[in-house]
Structure 1
Amino acid sequence: MFGWRRRNRTGRKTGRSKKQQFKLDKESVLPNHFRCPISLDLMKDPVTLSSGITYDRESIEKWLEDGNFTCPVTNQVLRSFDRIPNHILRKMIQEWCQENQNSGVERIPTPKVPVTGTEVYEILSSIEASMKRLDQCGFLESLKKINKWGFESERNRKCIVDNGTATTLANAFVTFSSDDHHQSLESHNYNVLEEILSSLNWMFPLENDARKILGSKPSLNKLVLLMKRRDFLSTKNAILVVEELCYDQEFIEALVGIEEVQEVLVRFIKEPICHAITKASLMVIFSMVSSSNHDHERIKTQFAEMGLVTLVLNMLIDGEKHLNEIALGVFDRILDSKEGREAACGNDLTMPVLVKKILRVSELATEYSVSSIWKLSRIEKQSNEGRVLFEALQVGAFQKLVLLLQCGCGDSTKEKATQLLKLLNPYRAGLECIESSDFKNLKRSF
């Protein structure tokens, strides 16, 4: 039972495994001049500063990005921030790794030279020239180069984004969209637009200028057109860009005015393609039904009439946990409309699902669940029917709400929970509460 204790040099056990011992041995033979002075790890891409000291590129760039202007070792102010690749030292490190391969040391690959701001500026100038000529081939060739740089390293992606690439691509999207007078799904510009969206997807979050440009009427019309196209990649890229833009109130108001956009979004919920598209669709719908626009009641009514209440309830039963919070938010907002409340009251899943989600998903999901029950109960109180409250008690709402107050919640949720307990209390006599997990066998409404 004491086998874990260390042994002395005569043969007793130590607490180190062979793997740990090997790691220590490997580190002990690593030449000091191969270590980065900052991280103390083996340098993979050694670069030399104007001070003459060599560092691993990743470590020294982080140091400089944090606002430091001195050499970490000498503490002298740097005359320039140029990082000169130390090819001789890098080759020495690679040779050492090669010689020690039998000891488990992996050879570091020859690093690619990172892209510079100047190179990005030059390729963007080339893109803008191609846009003016409506030269699709030249444009795609330049875009291909940007994507190649971007996927080589995180540093390249940052450099590309920081130099305004997203704004240039947003302008390109509008330019090639405007050039298409037929608004056809088989437009000769279709491939160009699809490639632009694919590139923008790895540049999130988009800068404000890019967001404003993509929110223009020609861009919005084309985004919805691409969403309608039954092609996985174009659909996914388009809806993800729309999701990225949907936090802007002006964009949402413009999006609502696009014909058929609501039907397309509901179709993505009804006929799920992948988690990313479903989540993005829910986020866009949530932004639309949360809008303070004077037309927001009409939007909620339309979604309710399209059957979104039932679709969301079914999703909450079988859907992934990470979608539950957004789905509950959409459900809560739709209940602000008369049609939404009628659809919810007419569905046998409503109360079991809402009670089940309290304290199960997240604090925000609990807030939406309580709010939804509160809205349905308050409306019913005015009609003096009591059916919703009766159903809530049957699936254990009273106990769940008491537990919620004991665990703690936000002021708004606490107030609604307290009001619900007062509404439920008169109906408790003679009712047997059941576990809220017993709703799975209830017949669904489709």
Structure 2
Amino acid sequence: MKNNSNSSSLSEAAIEILFHLNPSEVHIKSLINNESIQFIESLFHVLKHGSYQSRGYATMLLKSAFEVSDPIHLISVKKALFEELMRVLIDKISQQASKAALKLIVELLPWGRNRIKAVEGGAVLVLIELLFDVSERRACELILTGLDQLCGCAEGRAELLNHGAGVAIVSKKILRVSHVASDRGVRILSSICRYSANSRVLHEMLQVGAVSKLCLVLQVDSNFKTKEKAKEILKLHSSVWKNSTCIPVPLLSSYP
């Protein structure tokens, strides 16, 4: 037990030193390719068992490592990595660590079955909860980008819809943060409306103002692609929404 403790302490110390050395991409890639070091495995060990500060350093180094990793490393990540990244976000170790965790999640999600692994690791619920408190623009964009990617699979959409405020908080961020955030928010609603819509979901979107927000997107100076996506959603379910009293009259006038 003592040896394990000493080993963990040494790993944490080594990772802290490495982080402060600010290694180059070439250096990090050489560490990844050196099988005797097991660099990514060592970082994950500290991410799981280390102190708050060490877990923050490990998160930031993992982000750097996966940015230069071969696809095989990106595809073969385990659900446990997503679980630990969620823990970093929940614990709010530091703004820098949280940003690194979000960037890493967004980097990993497009590969293989990572979206499903992330959903199983609790990503959707954690990201939704983060949206309630996030104030920094880039962090909000990353959260919405992650949710957009996760809604690309049925499991991700189901988790978002199972959250009592998932649709509402995504809708709220549209037109309130940035063009990027609005685009990702509309894309999330599009995925839901295309692949997971039922009468309950469509009614919820009316009730929480998501449909009104889509109408507003058509009226304001927003990205052309975002407007087109919003128009597609509104047309798709016009038979349900178009004459609803839930949509304010000034917005109803822009219904396509």
Bin of the TM-score, shorter chain as denominator length: 0.7 to 0.9
Corresponding residue number in structure 2 for 1:271: 91
Give, in whole Å, the separation in 2 of the partners of 1:336 and 1:290. 9
Which blocks of at least 5 consecutive residues in structure 2 are unaligned? 249-256
CA-CA distance at 1:301 after TM superposition: 1.1
- Confirm or deny: 8 A CA contact 1:240 1:280 kept in the other structure: yes
Corresponding residue number in structure 1 for 2:194: 378
| SS of residue in 2 equivalent to 1:243 | helix
Which blocks of at least 5 consecutive residues in structure 1 are unaligned? 1-182, 435-446
CA distance 1:349–1:418, change in 2 (3 Å): same
348, 362, 370: which one pairs with 2:164?
348
CA distance 1:313–1:189, change in 2 (3 Å): closer
Give, in whole Å, the separation in 2 of the partners of 1:280 and 1:389. 35
CA-CA distance at 1:403 after TM superposition: 2.7
CA distance 1:318–1:388, change in 2 (3 Å): same
- Map Cα deviations across residues 59-112 of structure 1 (whole Å, 9 max, x no partner): xxxxxxxxxxxxxxxxxxxxxxxxxxxxxxxxxxxxxxxxxxxxxxxxxxxxxx
- Map Cα deviations across residues 380-421 of structure 1 (whole Å, 9 max, x no partner): 35xxx2322222222223332233233344443232111112
71, 83, 102: which one pairs with 1:282?
102
| SS of residue in 1 equivalent to 2:234 | helix
Corresponding residue number in structure 2 for 1:83: none
201, 213, 217: which one pairs with 1:388?
201
- Map Cα deviations across residues 114-160 of structure 1 (whole Å, 9 max, x no partner): xxxxxxxxxxxxxxxxxxxxxxxxxxxxxxxxxxxxxxxxxxxxxxx
Task: Give the alignment of 1:34-433 within 5 angstroms.
Answer: 184=4, 186-187=6-7, 189-190=10-11, 193-200=14-21, 203=22, 207-216=24-33, 217=35, 218-248=38-68, 250=70, 253-254=72-73, 257-259=76-78, 260-291=80-111, 295=112, 298-322=113-137, 323-381=139-197, 385-428=198-241, 429-433=243-247
Give, in whole Å, the separation in 2 of the partners of 1:231 and 1:225. 11
Q: Tell me: higher relative CO, structure 1 or 2? Use CA pairs within 8 A at least 6 residues apart.
A: 2
- Confirm or deny: 8 A CA contact 1:328 1:365 kept in the other structure: yes
- Confirm or deny: 8 A CA contact 1:255 1:261 kept in the other structure: no
CA distance 1:409–1:397, change in 2 (3 Å): same
CA distance 1:194–1:430, change in 2 (3 Å): closer
- Confirm or deny: 8 A CA contact 2:144 2:184 kept in the other structure: yes
CA distance 1:386–1:423, change in 2 (3 Å): farther
Give, in whole Å, the separation in 1 of the partners of 2:104 and 2:50. 19
Give, in whole Å, the separation in 2 of the partners of 1:371 and 1:433. 21
- Confirm or deny: 8 A CA contact 1:185 1:225 kept in the other structure: no
Which of structures 1 and 2 has the bigger CA Rg?
1
CA-CA distance at 1:255 after TM superposition: 5.0
| SS of residue in 2 equivalent to 1:320 | coil
CA-CA distance at 1:184 after TM superposition: 4.6
Say what the alpha-carbon RMSD is for the aligned residues.
2.5
- Confirm or deny: 8 A CA contact 2:173 2:182 kept in the other structure: yes
1:326 partner amino acid = L
TM-score w.r.t. length of structure 1: 0.49
- Confirm or deny: 8 A CA contact 1:394 1:431 kept in the other structure: no
Give, in whole Å, the separation in 1 of the partners of 2:234 and 2:175. 16
- Confirm or deny: 8 A CA contact 1:223 1:238 kept in the other structure: yes
CA distance 1:192–1:305, change in 2 (3 Å): closer
| SS of residue in 2 equivalent to 1:215 | helix
TM-score w.r.t. length of structure 2: 0.82
Corresponding residue number in structure 1 for 2:251: none
| SS of residue in 2 equivalent to 1:246 | helix
- Map Cα deviations across residues 181-231 of structure 1 (whole Å, 9 max, x no partner): xx955327436513432323xx3xx53312312333511111111212331
CA-CA distance at 1:368 after TM superposition: 0.8
2:118 partner amino acid = F
- Confirm or deny: 8 A CA contact 1:355 1:369 kept in the other structure: yes
CA-CA distance at 1:312 after TM superposition: 1.1
CA distance 1:398–1:222, change in 2 (3 Å): same
| SS of residue in 2 equivalent to 1:186 | helix
Matched positions, count:
239
CA-CA distance at 1:376 after TM superposition: 0.3
CA distance 1:241–1:423, change in 2 (3 Å): same
Give, in whole Å, the separation in 1 of the partners of 2:77 and 2:233. 39
- Confirm or deny: 8 A CA contact 2:29 2:69 kept in the other structure: no
